[in-house]
Amino acid sequence: MDPAQPANAVTELTRPIRRLLRRTAHDVVPTAAVAAAVDTQPGGAASVALDIPENDALLAYLQSAPGPVEIGRIELDSPALRAIREAGVALIVPLVSQGELIGTLNLGPRRSEQEYSSDDRRLLTNLAAHAAPAIRVAQLVHEQAREAATREGLEQEMRVATLIQQQFLPRELPALLHWQIAAYYGPARAVGGDFYDFIEMSDGRIGIAVGDVTDKGVPAALLMARTHSILRAEATRSDSPGVILARANELLVPEMPARMFVTCLFAILEPSTGRIILANAGHNLPYVRTDAGVIELRATGMPLGLLPGTVYEETEGVIEPGSNVLLYSDGLVEAHDPSREMYGFPRLREAMTVDDAGSELLDRLLNGLRVFTGPDWEQEDDITLVTLRRAAGVAERAAPDEAAPAGHVLTAFSIPGEEGNERTAMDLVAAAVGPLGLSPARLQRLKTAVSETAMNAIEYGSRGRAEIPVDVVVETTDDSIVVRISDRALSGAVPGDPEAPDIERKLAGEQKARGWGLFLIKSMVDSMAVTSDGSTQTVTLTMAREERSRG
């Protein structure tokens, strides 16, 4: 190296290194391209970055070179070599770390116009041996920093998408007289593309939407939110599911991202009659379990957002008492077991033949899926399930017992005296008193008391026999809600005032083993009374509309 010009020599060596360190990870890819930072001295010209493609012969040549290489002595058919020569490089020093070429030091001709000496080459070889590991560490640190930033960005994206999705899923399910409704949503990842919704419509009808947006993450969540908003807006303008989907499609087509669309089913249910009208935009067909078997409600149409001017046909039916309806996304039927067999529609159809209500049906379907897929299953797609069951054997009573104190009757019905119908009684009472504005805590207490009382009536009055019904009357006065639950008193015993349970006294035999249920019931409401006329036993529950002190 020319001792008369040390500063320039240092510049020639260090500027390329700084240039390499400033490059981003995608500029220096060891297996695809190696950056060649060229300092064309004299004159202090700016460094020029060149890439050596993976399939270029120069890459393998430099990776196996024992030290600095004079460009003029290389004889290769190499586009990269020609570009480096044109850039004025005279000497190339390979930077090799762990057998991998991670870059090069590129030097122009000596200002003294002399060739690089053996001392120069030894110095450059030593410099390369120290520089290569340092540069590799710098590259790895930079790559890790970029990966960490990417992960943080993805996590933030997931948080945003999750928040969007949570805001648009229903906070509570409709409480409909004589209906049991349950829903389940399980995303395959932090954020999914499925959605479901219940929309209040005129004349007590309920709009029900179930959909599936292609893709995942923020784009899917935003599209889901947009679709949700459109459907709700259009449901206020029309009572035709086909028209609602057609209008939603027209609004979504011009703004639909590439390779994305929405499958959606929209139904309108008339709870009082069980009449249901639905239209389908490429979604899975609903299953209905009836006394005659499992049927599909068929309607066809293209997914939303694909083609303008799409027409969606409608189908109409009646959900009879005792029938179940299942609306679902394809995450359930397209799940695979360890041998890659798909769960499939036939298996789901067979599972629907069992008469379960509400959450019991969902639990059975999900448990069956877990058994099918095995314990190590990794969920492949979002799973959304919505079930509607019209209560069986629930008969409206014409009037409450004439001996009951006068009050406005909200509802009066009878349920079969078999286990499980206590939930039906609870749901019907909750639906009847819903408009009265009880606080959530007081409503929950009333529901618990009704469920426990109905359970006792079924167990001790009807003895679990469906043909011996339990009667329920719900009344309201100016300041209270009164629920009367009557059974046929087959046990012949009328419970008295419940004694507060004492675990020590019960264990000592000083207190009856039973009695916890009655004590719980009394603690849930403002007052409880038990009466009997010899053939009918009635438990009367009274709950004040407003919180009041209880003695």
Kindly state whether residues 359 and 418 are assigned to the same domain.
no
Kindly state whether residues 379 and 462 are assigned to the same domain.
no
In the numeric block, which tokens belong to residue 227?
A: 């679709």
Kindly state whether residues 415 and 530 are assigned to the same domain.
yes
What size, in residues, is the chain?
551
Q: What is the pLDDT along the chain (551 residues), one digit of tens a residue?
A: 443 433 333 333 333 333 333 333 333 333 233 343 334 443 333 355 667 888 888 888 888 888 898 888 888 888 888 888 888 888 989 888 877 888 888 888 888 778 888 888 888 888 888 888 888 888 778 887 787 777 777 667 666 666 666 667 887 888 777 788 889 888 776 566 788 999 999 888 999 999 998 876 677 777 888 898 899 999 999 999 999 999 999 999 999 988 899 999 999 999 989 999 999 999 999 999 988 899 999 998 999 999 999 999 999 999 988 888 999 998 899 999 899 999 999 999 999 988 776 678 888 999 999 999 888 888 878 889 999 988 776 655 544 444 444 468 888 888 888 888 888 889 889 988 988 888 888 999 999 999 999 988 888 888 888 778 888 999 998 889 999 999 876 544 444 444 554 545 544 555 444 444 677 788 889 999 888 877 788 899 999 988 765 44
Residue with tokens 């053996």: 118
Kindly state whether residues 136 and 180 are assigned to the same domain.
no
Q: Residue 61 in contact with residue 97, Cβ under 8 Å?
A: no
Kindly state whether residues 449 and 384 are assigned to the same domain.
no
Q: Residue 23 in contact with residue 16, Cβ under 8 Å?
A: no
Kindly state whether residues 179 and 295 are assigned to the same domain.
yes
Beta bridge pairs of residue 94: 104
Kindly state whether residues 367 and 434 are assigned to the same domain.
no
Residue 147, SS3 per DSSP: helix
- Domain with 98 in it: what CATH number? 3.30.450
Domain count, the chain: 3
CA torsion 431-433-438-441 (nearest 10°) is -50
Asked if residue 161 is part of any domain, the answer here is no
Asked if residue 503 is part of any domain, the answer here is yes
Asked if residue 280 is part of any domain, the answer here is yes
Q: Phi, psi at residue 183, to the nearest 5°? A: -145, 150
Rounded-to-integer distance, Cα 75 and Cα 365, Å: 71
Closest C-alpha among 380, 382, 385, 378 to residue 191:
382
Q: Tell me the residue range of the domain where 121 lies.
A: 6-142
Q: Residue 207 in contact with residue 199, Cβ under 8 Å?
A: yes
